[in-house]
Amino acid sequence: MGVGARVVCVGLLLCSAACEGDIGGGRALETRGGATTGDGGVRSWMSYHWPRRTTPIPIRVGDSLTADAWRDTLTRVLPGWTASTIVRAQRLAGEVTDPKDCTPGPGRVEVCNAEYGLNGWLGLATIWVNGDEIQNATVRLNDSYFATADYDDRYARQHVLCQELGHTLGLDHQRTEVSCMNDIEGLKDVRYVGPGRDDFTLLARIYGASSTATAQALTQAPTIDGTGDTRAYTFVAPADR
């Protein structure tokens, strides 16, 4: 990407202390600065948002999943986010050949699963931004944990995938509502597998006004190599609950 572009990550993690390590070839470093609070304690992820040219906001979701269990989970989760009048998600065929790399094409949210290692995170959302506008995103689902008896659970999969997709829309974790964005409660609870009312309220705030900025068109897919002006950050949230 061009000068000034950067990459930002947030994930549902197993560690309660600061975590640092590899993320598919990039680096992860704990940070929590700059989030803003919306209704009901729901928080936006800094001020990041997709270009606000139209409403509903079209989100192109690439299905690069390699397991039937995850494909079924995506089928169950996507309608939850598109139930609002703010977002319309379109499921597309995946473009990723290496799920561990999971590099997104321009204007897409690519969803991948792989054995990323016992590194402390169940799911990880990454966004590429130009200024505050999201250009690309990925959701990575860590089979190193979901292949174990502790996490091989239908509702746990839905909770994590729903939460990481919410991050790619510009939402941070929240802890006051029954919602998949709650990073403390509900990992294996059927009540926590979809977004809540306050999530939609904040999405309306984020996307309700037209952006006056012109989004810079991407001419090439980004890389996740941690070099140059590209930086990666992770929000730490314990998931061992």
Top pLDDT among 215 and 135 is at 135
58-92 tens-digit pLDDT: 999 999 999 999 999 999 999 999 887 888 999 99
Top pLDDT among 195 and 39 is at 195
Give the number of domains in the chain: 1
Q: Which residue has the tokens 């590429």?
A: 128
Give the pLDDT band (50/70/90) at residue 163: very high
Q: Is 208 left (phi over 0), alpha (psi -120 to 50) or beta?
A: alpha
Query: Does 229 fall in a domain?
Result: no
Q: Which domain holds residue 32?
A: 5-207
Q: What pLDDT is stored for residue 14 in this prediction?
A: 54
Peptide bond between residue 56 and the one before it cis (omega within 30 degrees of 0):
yes
Q: What pLDDT is stored for residue 73 in this prediction?
A: 98
Query: Does 97 fall in a domain?
Result: yes
Query: Does 113 fall in a domain?
Result: yes
Query: Does 228 fall in a domain?
Result: no
Q: What pLDDT is stored for residue 66 in this prediction?
A: 97
What does pLDDT average to over the chain?
75
Q: Are strands 108-114 and 57-64 parallel, antiparallel or unpaired?
A: parallel
For residues 84 and 82, give the distance between their C-alpha atoms in angstroms, rounded to a whole number.
5
Query: Above 70 in pLDDT, residue 193?
Result: yes
Top pLDDT among 70 and 225 is at 70
Top pLDDT among 8 and 149 is at 149
Query: Above 50 in pLDDT, residue 2?
Result: no
Q: What pLDDT is stored for residue 12 in this prediction?
A: 61
Query: Does 230 fall in a domain?
Result: no
Q: Is 31 exposed, middle or buried (0-12, 13-18, 19+ CB in 10 A)?
A: middle
Query: Above 50 in pLDDT, residue 114?
Result: yes
Give the pLDDT band (50/70/90) at residue 23: very low
Q: Is the pTM of this model over 0.95?
A: no
Percent of the chain topping pLDDT 70: 69
Query: Does 138 fall in a domain?
Result: yes
Query: Above 90 in pLDDT, residue 179?
Result: yes
Give the pLDDT band (50/70/90) at residue 226: very low
Top pLDDT among 57 and 230 is at 57
Give the pLDDT band (50/70/90) at residue 115: very high
For residues 233 and 97, give the distance between their C-alpha atoms in angstroms, rounded to a whole number.
25
Give the pLDDT band (50/70/90) at residue 55: confident
50 within 8 A of 170, measured Cβ to Cβ? yes
CATH of the domain at 16: 3.40.390.10
Nearest by Cα to 165 from 69, 82, 68, 47: 82
Query: Does 212 fall in a domain?
Result: no
Give the count of alpha carbons within 13 A of 100, CB side only: 7
Q: What angle do CA 191, 192, 194 make, to 5 degrees?
A: 100
Query: Does 201 fall in a domain?
Result: yes
